[in-house]
């Protein structure tokens, strides 16, 4: 008790003493009375690219560019994943997701890429001309369902996709070509538009104008099938649906460790293998990591799936 009284007396004395200290007198030369300095002039911010994308000079297409295709200029780009995800690092998933590493520089010659995934109406012309097998969902009559002419064709095997591209005077893109084209000129980004996610909203309808109303950037996380090609904003090269809608066959055989031995120029993939590579993600995918540009998947080349389609490429030198 005595200690408490002592502390209280000390605090009381200090308070009284502080109240008796006179306030300092300000003079005309006191810095507090001087006019404030003018605000520092800030330089004008640099112009922003549309939709927050990096400013990328558009490649100049050659005069012989085929209709319905986009031009991808020659040069280097970073291929593979530069981002790290904890669930992959600790082996949370059974499937090894380290097959898209290490990231590495690749130089490609210039080429053309279909702006859209091959549609039902385009594939129907091929099937009629060649007598090829038609997707089973077209029914016994083998006709494209009304209103689905511009839906990407699916339930097509790798061999059928390869045959279509050859019939059209084109070819399936290599995996490296697909990834460079999907990036649209952006360097080491997760999606064709940058690093921001897809704004997945579940299973809302994807009718005309829906992308603009909701800000969604790709057709994914949706239970009712693919959307009309070109329903979402294109990337920097003018390519549509490089993320979502349907997975896309590419030419390469799949090898998990290929990036460790890949050539630096125009890689063609392994010479043989068991599975063919798939890229881009599909309409049913809800995990954004599966829809990122660097993500690699694979399937037996004989597989036909409701989530798998394709698009074609063409070498500029073939023109």
Let me know if residue 104 belongs to a domain: yes
Decide if 319 is inside a domain.
yes
> Given this model, what pLDDT does residue 156 score?
98
- Asked whether residue 282 is assigned to any structural domain, the reply reads yes
Q: At what angle do helices 158-167 and 120-130 cross, to 10 degrees?
A: 80
Over residues 192-221, the mean pLDDT reads 62
E strands, 28-184, in order: 69-72, 75-79, 104-108, 111-114
**Tell me, what's the pLDDT at 249?**
98
- Give the number of domains in the chain: 1
Tokens 């994807």 — which residue? 206
How much is the mean pLDDT over the chain?
Answer: 81
Binned at pLDDT 50, 70 and 90, residue 98 comes out as confident
Task: Tell me the chain's radius of gyration from C-alpha atoms.
Answer: 30
Count other Cβ atoms within 10 Å, centred on residue 314.
20
> Is the predicted pLDDT of residue 226 greater than 70, yes or no?
yes
Identify the CATH number of the domain in which residue 259 sits: 3.90.1580.10
- The answer to whether 277 and 250 have CB atoms below 8 angstroms apart is yes
> Which carries the bigger pLDDT value, residue 179 or residue 209?
179
Q: What percent of the chain has pLDDT over 70?
A: 72
Does the pLDDT of residue 109 top 90, yes or no?
Answer: yes
Among 95-109, 160-174, 274-288, name the one with the lowest average pLDDT. 95-109
Q: Which structural domain, as residue segments, surrounds residue 277? A: 66-319
The answer to whether residues 243 and 192 touch, using CB atoms and an 8 Å cutoff, is yes
How many CB atoms lie under 10 A from the CB of residue 289? 17
Q: Is residue 3 part of a domain?
A: no
Calculate the CA 205 to chain-centre distance.
Answer: 22
Model confidence at 300: pLDDT above 80: yes
Compare 125 and 81 and report the one with higher pLDDT: 125
* Domain-located, residue 204: yes
pLDDT digits (tens, 9 = 90+) for 113-155: 999 999 999 999 999 999 999 999 999 999 999 999 999 999 9
Is a pLDDT exceeding 90 seen at residue 32? Answer: no
Is 162 a member of any domain? yes
Residue 224 covered by a domain: yes
Q: Is 7 a domain residue? A: no
Q: Which helix (H) or strand (E) holds 251?
A: strand 247-253
Q: What is the pLDDT of residue 90?
A: 75
Are 232 and 216 spatial neighbours (Cβ–Cβ below 8 Å)?
Answer: yes
- Would you state the pLDDT for residue 93? 61
- Judged against a pLDDT cut of 50, whether residue 55 lies above it is answered with no
What CA–CA distances, in Å, run from 144 to 74, 162, 310?
A: 38, 21, 17
The verdict on pTM exceeding 0.85 is no
């Amino acid at each position: 008790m005595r200690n408490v009284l002592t502390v209280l007396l000390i605090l009381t004395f200090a308070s009284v003493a502080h109240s008796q200290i006179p306030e300092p007198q300000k003079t005309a030369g006191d810095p507090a009375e001087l006019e404030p300095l003018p605000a520092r002039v800030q330089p004008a911010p640099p112009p922003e690219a549309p939709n927050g994308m990096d400013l990328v000079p558009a490649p100049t297409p050659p005069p012989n560019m085929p209709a319905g295709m986009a031009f991808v200029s020659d040069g280097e780009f970073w291929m593979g994943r530069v981002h790290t995800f904890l669930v992959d690092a600790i082996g949370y998933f059974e499937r090894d997701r380290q097959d898209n590493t290490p990231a590495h520089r690749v130089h490609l010659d210039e080429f053309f890429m279909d702006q859209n995934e091959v549609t039902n109406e385009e594939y129907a012309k091929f099937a009629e001309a060649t007598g090829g097998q038609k997707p089973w969902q077209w029914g016994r009559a083998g006709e494209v369902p009304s209103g689905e002419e511009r839906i990407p064709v699916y339930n097509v095997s790798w061999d059928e996709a390869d045959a279509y591209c050859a019939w059209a005077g084109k070819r399936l893109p290599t995996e490296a070509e697909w990834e460079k084209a999907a990036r649209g000129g952006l360097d080491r980004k997760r999606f064709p538009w940058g690093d921001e996610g897809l704004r997945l909203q579940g299973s809302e309808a994807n009718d005309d104008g829906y992308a603009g109303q909701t800000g969604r950037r790709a057709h994914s996380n949706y239970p009712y099938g693919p959307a009309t090609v070109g329903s979402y904003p294109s990337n920097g090269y003018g390519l549509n649906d490089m993320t979502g809608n349907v997975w896309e066959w590419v030419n390469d055989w799949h090898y998990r460790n290929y990036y460790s031995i890949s050539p630096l120029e125009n890689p063609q993939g392994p010479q043989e293998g068991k599975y063919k590579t798939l890229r881009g993600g599909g309409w049913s995918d809800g995990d954004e990591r599966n829809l990122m540009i660097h993500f690699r998947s694979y399937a037996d080349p004989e597989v036909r799936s409701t989530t798998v389609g394709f698009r074609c490429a063409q070498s500029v030198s073939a023109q």
